[in-house]
Structure 1
Amino acid sequence: MELQASCGVVLSIRRGSSRKEQIALKSDAASLPPLHLRRSSSSIANCRRNFNNSTSISAASCSESSLEEFSTVRPSQLSGIKPQYLEETDDSVLSERLLKLCRNNKILSALELFASMSALGIKPNSHACNSLIACLTRNNCIDDALAVFEILRREKLATEHTFSIVLKAVAEAKGCRSAVEIFSEVESEENKLDTVVYNTMISICGRSKNWIEAERLWNRLRQRDCAGSILTYRLLISIFVQCGQPELALSAYDEMIKNGLQPDEDSMKGIISVCTKEGNWRSGLAVFNQMINSGVQPNAVAFNSIINCLGKAGETDQAFKIYDLMKNAGLSPDVYTWTALLNSLYRSGRYSDALRLFEFISKGDEELNPHLCNVALMSCQRLRRWDRSLQILWKMEESEMYVPPESYNLVILACERANQAKVAVEVYEHMIHRKCVPDTFTHLSLIRACIWGSLWAEVDGLLKRVEPSASLYNTIIQGLFLRGKAGSAKKLYEKLRANGLEPDGKTRALMLQYSSEKPKFGRN
């Protein structure tokens, strides 16, 4: 190892030299200025230069007592360290001594011993070197850690553990990009990087949500014919799932299975969640069955996820089979389970079954929420069960839960479908009384109900109460035409244009038809 003095002479004391030669060399070394370490890596040098601008501490300015209690002092420049005379020249003994100093956080003493061993040409073992790097990094001496790291690399003393320690420290201090720069430089020079180092970098990228760099590392790992471990694929799946990259997550999982590796519980849960979002129920169900066959007990989240996935795909029977497995596993269904099952029945057009399931849920201990109730109200609307929708609405109000405008809209829509215009008006008035603000959908549904129920006075009153809008006028005009009130429709059409509103295509078509075929329409 080269530790060059300003005079250009390399200070080198070899084991086996006589004591007189060592004393003579020591006296020559005492007259030399502080040693400096030549930097070869541009990325590492930049990290060192930019990381800390604190004042450097020189060994020459420290007293003997301060050297003994240096655990609270943090040097910022390794260039101020001078080699000391060593009576002991056995590398194993000196390595053990260096190891103890690092464990006790004697930073300056450890650096002096390291420099002295380098001056004597004594190489510490890998355990001592890694301990020195770890000591410097945990005491925030990143500059010195990088300097020692350069030396270890030049002397081929750096191990995979050394790389991992340095990369983690740089990522924590400077961020993912700086760690990637150092890794890229090390990767181009080193041929012995193993899966552990790649896993370290993939983990660093995962913390920064940098899935692009994680994918690049994955490809480099395969190009080097370096087999990924279970941890490699677990990290990749987790990163791709969190970053919304389902295709990459599934690709990593497939490669994991192809390489004969058994996925862990977290990986399988992540893949199931990906399949749920993508609607890939076959792959999700296959992974779920693999989880059960491998002896892994899925939790409630995994059960709910696959039930939701099957429900969205219209595989209602499969969803209820998973529900039975959930009960047999001793897990209690929660609100997410019921929501997934209710949605599954509604999407499959099994509205009566959805209402029966809602009744079952209502009688249980599970607390109802607006979403569950709205699914039941949608089923009532499909079945034209306006009376049942009213009962559900009253139950929602009695439970003091928040009743959104959507719930009232669904009840009014059920009344419209069942031709119960007067009931729809009463629900609307009740909605206003409870200070629930109606929206455009409320007004449109109520107007359609009133038109088909021939409640013209209510239609006029609603027009006066609500701020004019194109959708509102278009709905009334079209309803009047369909009920044979062409004259009233024409007057309202003129009012629509007078308010600066635009008719839609259907309204224009009806007006053109009225103009060309007036006898076909009624006058009032």
Structure 2
Amino acid sequence: MVGLLEPRLYFLEERDEQVLSKRILSLSRSNKVRSAFDLYMSVEVSGLQASLHACNSLLSCLLRNQLLDDALRIFDMMKEKEMTSGHTYSLILKAVANTRGSDSALKMFGELEAKGVAKNCFDAIVYNTMISICAKANNWVQAERIWRNMKENHQSGTTITYNLLVSIFVRCDQNELALDAYHEMIQDGLKPSEDIMIAVIVTCTKDGKWSLALSIFQNMLESGFNPSTTACNALINSLGKAGEVELAFKVYDLVRSLGHAPDTYTWNALLGALYSGNRYGDVLRLFESIKREQNSQLNLHLYNKALMSCRRLALWDQSLQLLWQMETSGLPVPTASYNFVIGACEVARKPKVALQVYEHMVHQNCTPDIFTYLSLIRACIWGSLWAEVEEILEHVAPDVSLYNTIIQGMCLRGKTTSARKLYMKMRERGLKPDGKTRALMLQNFTKDSVRQGNRYRFRK
């Protein structure tokens, strides 16, 4: 029912506008759209005027029945008589957005603003409606513009206003705008909801503003809120990234005191905090504790944190055990996990074990990446496994990082002749060496020239 209704006009014996308005209101609320529409048009033709409340109720009735064109006709008649309110504009703009899209609603809103309607008729509800329309379309640019215009027209935001603004800005990664909206809300004396506080804590986590996140968390407690596990995890994660390990564990203790059971996100945040604080042994101890008491919550992220710590501590044997546990538990083991194990072998100077892990990785149909080969080659260089280095280089696509690593390793291990040959091969393939490689080659070329000169003088 998109087309315009043809009104059936009545001769009105009743001339009291208040009585007629109540009838229109009653018919509209009962969803008798045809009768309400005909009565309203009859009132208009008779030179009478229905109340604003009755008109808005009729608009709602028409829009409920998807008669947008008829609602727009009534809307235009109301504008001509200057009988509109914020509720009127909110109804129409929302209906236009739902039927014709957010761009059409924004266009209509802009036209109304240009005519000066905003200063006299727009209230917080209208602005909230438009910000909500922008939020559904993730149009944060227009949401910010409407927010600025709202303040210019001396309209104060409500809790709903800031809830919408913070949500869209956080969702669109506009963290500074989200924090601006939150601070303005506090300045206006409005109390943020728990959802807003959680969203702002998450935003602070992304920007590393752990002190602000901690302050908001404390405000939640003082306001009588029971922070959710999500909020606690976000704060622990923020504190961990900042190296505030002790504070992170204090929040963890609070999580348990609030009756929340720690989940995988909690454990990941705590392990991350310990790792950021260079407490690699504590990472492994906590991981083993989780494995004993919460084995079902172990996931790829937790295993990788433990493997990263093994690499830092050169615990190649323990990293192998963790890798075996991952494979037997049915977890899909990605390339990064194998890289951590090979890295632990590299640090521990166990090149043959690193090669075995590499072969097992390929056998498991896991594709190595450039980091795999770099770690493997470094391990082989320190073990003087030159044949294995050459074999790896032959089976891998030419990469400047690999050549730089091998040449530098050869120079440092005194294999200058092999380094020079590989350097020439590198240049022939069009690969550009880095500054360190060029400096080492130049240094060794100078030394060889001096040796040859000394030999020549000795023979003479």
Q: State TM-score, norm by structure 1.
A: 0.80
The SS at the match of 1:191 is: helix
Q: Residue 401 of structure 1 aligns with which residue? A: 331
Partner AA of 1:76 in structure 2: G
CA distance in 2, matches of 1:271, 1:422: 50
CA distance in 1, matches of 2:187, 2:431: 63
**Which of the numbers 253, 263, 275 marks the counterpart of 1:324?**
253
Q: Residue 49 of structure 2 aligns with which residue? A: 123
CA distance in 1, matches of 2:397, 2:157: 65
Kindly indicate whether the alpha-carbon contact (under 8 Å) linking 2:93 and 2:109 is maintained by their aligned counterparts in 1.
yes
Q: Residue 77 of structure 1 aligns with which residue? A: 4
Kindly indicate whether the alpha-carbon contact (under 8 Å) linking 2:2 and 2:68 is maintained by their aligned counterparts in 1.
no
Kindly indicate whether the alpha-carbon contact (under 8 Å) linking 2:72 and 2:92 is maintained by their aligned counterparts in 1.
yes
CA distance in 2, matches of 1:210, 1:406: 36
State the Cα distance separating 1:497 from its structure 2 match.
Answer: 3.9
The SS at the match of 1:411 is: helix
Partner AA of 1:515 in structure 2: F
Partner AA of 2:339 in structure 1: N
Note if 1:370 corresponds to 2:296: no
Q: Residue 232 of structure 1 aligns with which residue? A: 161
Q: Residue 493 of structure 1 aligns with which residue? A: 423
Task: Summarize the alignment of residues 17-416 of structure 1 with structure 2, pairs less than 5 Å apart.
Answer: 74=1, 76-77=3-4, 80-81=6-7, 83-187=9-113, 188-189=116-117, 191-365=120-294, 366-416=296-346
1:393-414 deviation digits (Å, cap 9, x = unpaired): 1211221211112222221221
State the Cα distance separating 1:519 from its structure 2 match.
Answer: 7.9
Higher helix share: 2
Greater displacement, 88-97 / 492-501: 492-501
State the Cα distance separating 1:268 from its structure 2 match.
Answer: 0.7
The SS at the match of 1:158 is: coil
State the Cα distance separating 1:306 from its structure 2 match.
Answer: 0.8
CA distance in 1, matches of 2:82, 2:347: 82
CA distance in 1, matches of 2:121, 2:386: 86
1:216-264 deviation digits (Å, cap 9, x = unpaired): 3222332233322222222222222222222221111111111211111
CA distance in 2, matches of 1:402, 1:292: 40
Note if 1:432 corresponds to 2:353: no
State the Cα distance separating 1:389 from its structure 2 match.
Answer: 1.3
Describe the shift of the 1:467–1:127 C-alpha distance in structure 2 as closer, same or farther (beyond 3 A).
closer
Kindly indicate whether the alpha-carbon contact (under 8 Å) linking 2:263 and 2:297 is maintained by their aligned counterparts in 1.
no
Describe the shift of the 1:136–1:444 C-alpha distance in structure 2 as closer, same or farther (beyond 3 A).
same
Kindly indicate whether the alpha-carbon contact (under 8 Å) linking 1:99 and 1:131 is maintained by their aligned counterparts in 2.
yes
Partner AA of 1:145 in structure 2: A
Partner AA of 1:200 in structure 2: T
1:47-98 deviation digits (Å, cap 9, x = unpaired): xxxxxxxxxxxxxxxxxxxxxxxxxxx47336x4353211222223322332
Identity level (%): 53
Q: State TM-score, norm by structure 2.
A: 0.90
CA distance in 2, matches of 1:227, 1:464: 69
1:353-399 deviation digits (Å, cap 9, x = unpaired): 11111111221224322222222111111111112111111211221
Describe the shift of the 1:520–1:485 C-alpha distance in structure 2 as closer, same or farther (beyond 3 A).
farther
Describe the shift of the 1:75–1:311 C-alpha distance in structure 2 as closer, same or farther (beyond 3 A).
closer
CA distance in 2, matches of 1:292, 1:322: 12
Q: Residue 479 of structure 1 aligns with which residue? A: 409
CA distance in 1, matches of 2:99, 2:136: 13
Describe the shift of the 1:214–1:517 C-alpha distance in structure 2 as closer, same or farther (beyond 3 A).
same
Describe the shift of the 1:375–1:84 C-alpha distance in structure 2 as closer, same or farther (beyond 3 A).
same
Greater displacement, 285-294 / 449-458: 449-458
Partner AA of 1:224 in structure 2: N
State the Cα distance separating 1:500 from its structure 2 match.
Answer: 4.7
Describe the shift of the 1:271–1:513 C-alpha distance in structure 2 as closer, same or farther (beyond 3 A).
same
Greater displacement, 425-434 / 404-413: 425-434
CA distance in 2, matches of 1:444, 1:185: 61
Kindly indicate whether the alpha-carbon contact (under 8 Å) linking 1:415 and 1:424 is maintained by their aligned counterparts in 2.
yes
Kindly indicate whether the alpha-carbon contact (under 8 Å) linking 2:345 and 2:351 is maintained by their aligned counterparts in 1.
yes
Greater displacement, 90-99 / 311-320: 90-99
1:284-317 deviation digits (Å, cap 9, x = unpaired): 1111110111011111111111111111111111
Partner AA of 1:264 in structure 2: S
Describe the shift of the 1:226–1:441 C-alpha distance in structure 2 as closer, same or farther (beyond 3 A).
closer
Describe the shift of the 1:462–1:168 C-alpha distance in structure 2 as closer, same or farther (beyond 3 A).
closer
Describe the shift of the 1:461–1:167 C-alpha distance in structure 2 as closer, same or farther (beyond 3 A).
closer
Describe the shift of the 1:293–1:512 C-alpha distance in structure 2 as closer, same or farther (beyond 3 A).
same
* Higher RCO (C-alpha under 8 Å, 6+ residues apart): 1
Describe the shift of the 1:336–1:111 C-alpha distance in structure 2 as closer, same or farther (beyond 3 A).
same
The SS at the match of 1:88 is: coil
Kindly indicate whether the alpha-carbon contact (under 8 Å) linking 1:81 and 1:112 is maintained by their aligned counterparts in 2.
yes
Note if 1:422 corresponds to 2:352: yes
Note if 1:515 corresponds to 2:426: no
CA distance in 1, matches of 2:319, 2:381: 21
CA distance in 1, matches of 2:246, 2:442: 51
CA distance in 2, matches of 1:163, 1:191: 12
Describe the shift of the 1:375–1:183 C-alpha distance in structure 2 as closer, same or farther (beyond 3 A).
same
CA distance in 2, matches of 1:508, 1:81: 88
Q: Residue 461 of structure 1 aligns with which residue? A: 391
Describe the shift of the 1:266–1:512 C-alpha distance in structure 2 as closer, same or farther (beyond 3 A).
same
The two structures, once aligned, show a CA RMSD in angstroms of 2.3
Greater displacement, 88-97 / 256-265: 88-97
Greater displacement, 491-500 / 366-375: 491-500
